[in-house]
Structure 1
Amino acid sequence: MINGEAYLAFEQLLFSVRTGKPAFDKVFGSPRFDWLSAHPEQAALFQRAMVAQGQGSNEAVADAYDFSRYTRVVDVGGGHGQLLWAILARNPHLSGVLLDLASGVAAARQEAGSDASRTDFVVGDFFDSVPVGDVYVIKKVIHDWDDERAELILRRCREAMPTHGRVLVAETLVPAGDEPAQIKVIDVVMLAVTGGLERTEAQYARLFEAAGLKLERVIDTSAPISVLEASPA
């Protein structure tokens, strides 16, 4: 996947550095996810790449958080559903909702297996609305978007959740200081390809606040990814 259209977009990195806008849009004439929607073969490759990239980290997120007090988990932008299946496998009391675009939901139905009976598959746009649940998991989605769009996703969760609900954002945090770190390289890739960015803990806290949420804690996992837990403000 990286060696395909993303690589061609990264060739125009200087455009992104000068303008703050994604080079992908300049090279391909439309935003990354709009382009994928119009190119099913590349979209399928993207989904397979996300499954491969998520191996290990899905299990780490599912193991790191205690879901015992919840009843309905909503995986926002859940793609193939690998994270949702990992959570449901560890929490037989939970029901699940997988929200994604049509291609993601179709792929998730094929992967669901025995968990299909405990899962509602919802085709939708998380910028418009999200289904009702009492805990929302958003893994490697927020980093795809600039602050305005990222805040909107979180606000939609806030609007749908009950007062005791929680939003769990699973992302790799940018460490403080100027020391080299792989996630800082990924931050530049996100700028060029999607217009998104990797963030520090403080930046996520500000995003939550803007969306009517409050960062409660950051939970480390066994993988290079953290779970940021937010409650209604």
Structure 2
Amino acid sequence: VSRLLREDDPNSLRAISLWCTEPWTWDAWPRLDEAVRTGRNVVEDLYGKEFFPYLNEDAPESADVFNRAMTTSSVQSARDVADFLDLSGSASVADLGGGQGHVLVSLLDKYPSLHGTLLDLPRVVDNALPRLRPGGDLADRACVVPGDVRVSVPVSADVYIIKNILEWDDDSTARTLHNVRAAGGPGARVVVIENLVDDSPSMRFSTAMDLLLLLNVGGAKHTTDSMVGRLTEAGLVIDDIRPVNPYLHAFDCHVPR
């Protein structure tokens, strides 16, 4: 078990373990009953700011731990996502909120003629994988764009991938899906990939993350039904729902013509 706490283990859980022991985590968990009763996050009351402004402005070291944990999660699922997705016939793909670009790199490796765009917050894409940046071996087929999908999606693509970013709160989810639909236009493919929650043993980790989202941002992991509801409300047509692996499910959608 101790090997998983090493940085050099390919399946390392070090960053995720550190994330789960950050001070803001311990400060929040004792107020779980309050969050469950109200449906609101407790971070704003604890620190006077929303979760991400608090991390980025007041706790940069904690922000780095959080970003490394998200990167670890992305690295470990990127190959599964690339193996799962069939993008044959597509010329371009955009990974929205795609972190440092692990999923995008895996897709560009799989499809040598595919062009891709990585869109995420400036602080995140400043650390995009070297292969995607000028001088990297994928730079001629990749574009790195700083931005916030909740504000706009200034990217045109055949396929849009949205992985694990529709869980912060309902308003953010609605704005993101609206922006993606507007950017893609009629016929664009939108693939939403999420950890879902239900009552099966394989979902216990997702359930813990569901509670942590509630504490931090007032968000929640989705059930299949709640995700279908959000996508339908956004005007997307759902073509298929399938598991990517035991922890992730893909909702394959398109913008109606």
User: Cα RMSD between the aligned structures?
Assistant: 1.7
> Would you say 1:189 and 2:212 are equivalent positions?
yes
CA distance in 2, matches of 1:212, 1:125: 21
Question: What's the secondary structure of 1:125's corresponding residue?
Answer: coil
**Larger radius of gyration, structure 1 or 2?**
2
Instruction: Report the CA distance between 1:109 and its aligned residue.
Output: 4.7
Segments of 4+ in structure 1 off by > 6 A? Answer: none
What is the TM-score when the length of structure 2 is the normalising length? 0.83
Counterpart of 1:132, as a letter, is S
Alignment match, 1:31: 50
Question: What's the secondary structure of 1:133's corresponding residue?
Answer: coil
Instruction: Report the CA distance between 1:124 and its aligned residue.
Output: 1.0
Alignment match, 1:11: 30
Instruction: Report the CA distance between 1:231 and its aligned residue.
Output: 1.1
CA distance in 1, matches of 2:60, 2:140: 28
Alignment match, 1:221: 244
Residues 40-79 of structure 1: matches in 2 within 5 Å?
40-79=60-99
| Deviation digits for residues 145-184 of structure 1 (CA, Å, limit 9, x no counterpart) | 2222101101100001032211111112223xx5553122
Alignment match, 2:15: none
User: Is the contact between residue 10 and residue 193 of structure 1 (CA under 8 Å) also seen in structure 2?
Assistant: no
CA distance in 2, matches of 1:120, 1:42: 28
> Would you say 1:20 and 2:39 are equivalent positions?
yes
| Deviation digits for residues 16-75 of structure 1 (CA, Å, limit 9, x no counterpart) | 112111112221221111222214332222221111122331111111110112111111
Q: Which moved more, 1:220-229 or 1:202-211?
A: 220-229
| Number of residue pairs matched by the alignment | 230
Instruction: Report the CA distance between 1:222 and its aligned residue.
Output: 3.3
CA distance in 2, matches of 1:161, 1:84: 18
CA distance in 1, matches of 2:76, 2:254: 26
User: Is the contact between residue 10 and residue 23 of structure 1 (CA under 8 Å) also seen in structure 2?
Assistant: no
Residues 114-125 of structure 1: matches in 2 within 5 Å?
114-125=137-148
Question: What's the secondary structure of 1:3's corresponding residue?
Answer: coil
User: Is the contact between residue 205 and residue 214 of structure 1 (CA under 8 Å) also seen in structure 2?
Assistant: no
User: Is the contact between residue 72 and residue 135 of structure 1 (CA under 8 Å) also seen in structure 2?
Assistant: yes
Question: What's the secondary structure of 2:127's corresponding residue?
Answer: helix
> Would you say 1:132 and 2:156 are equivalent positions?
yes
Question: What's the secondary structure of 2:151's corresponding residue?
Answer: coil
Taking every aligned residue pair, what percent have the same amino acid on both sides?
A: 32
CA distance in 2, matches of 1:199, 1:141: 11
Q: Tell me: higher relative CO, structure 1 or 2? Use CA pairs within 8 A at least 6 residues apart.
A: 1
Instruction: Identify if the C-alpha distance between structure 1 residues 58 and 109 changes in structure 2 by more than 3 Å, giving closer, same or farther.
Output: closer
What stretches of structure 1 of length at least 5 have no aligned partner? none
Residues 58-207 of structure 1: matches in 2 within 5 Å?
58-110=78-130, 112=132, 113-130=136-153, 131-143=155-167, 145-175=168-198, 178=199, 181-182=203-204, 183-207=206-230
User: Is the contact between residue 62 and residue 87 of structure 1 (CA under 8 Å) also seen in structure 2?
Assistant: yes
CA distance in 2, matches of 1:211, 1:222: 26
User: Is the contact between residue 216 and residue 231 of structure 1 (CA under 8 Å) also seen in structure 2?
Assistant: yes
User: Is the contact between residue 131 and residue 137 of structure 2 (CA under 8 Å) also seen in structure 1?
Assistant: no
Instruction: Report the CA distance between 1:111 and its aligned residue.
Output: 5.6
Instruction: Report the CA distance between 1:13 and its aligned residue.
Output: 1.4
> Would you say 1:230 and 2:248 are equivalent positions?
no
Instruction: Report the CA distance between 1:89 and its aligned residue.
Output: 1.0
CA distance in 2, matches of 1:60, 1:139: 12
User: Is the contact between residue 22 and residue 191 of structure 1 (CA under 8 Å) also seen in structure 2?
Assistant: yes
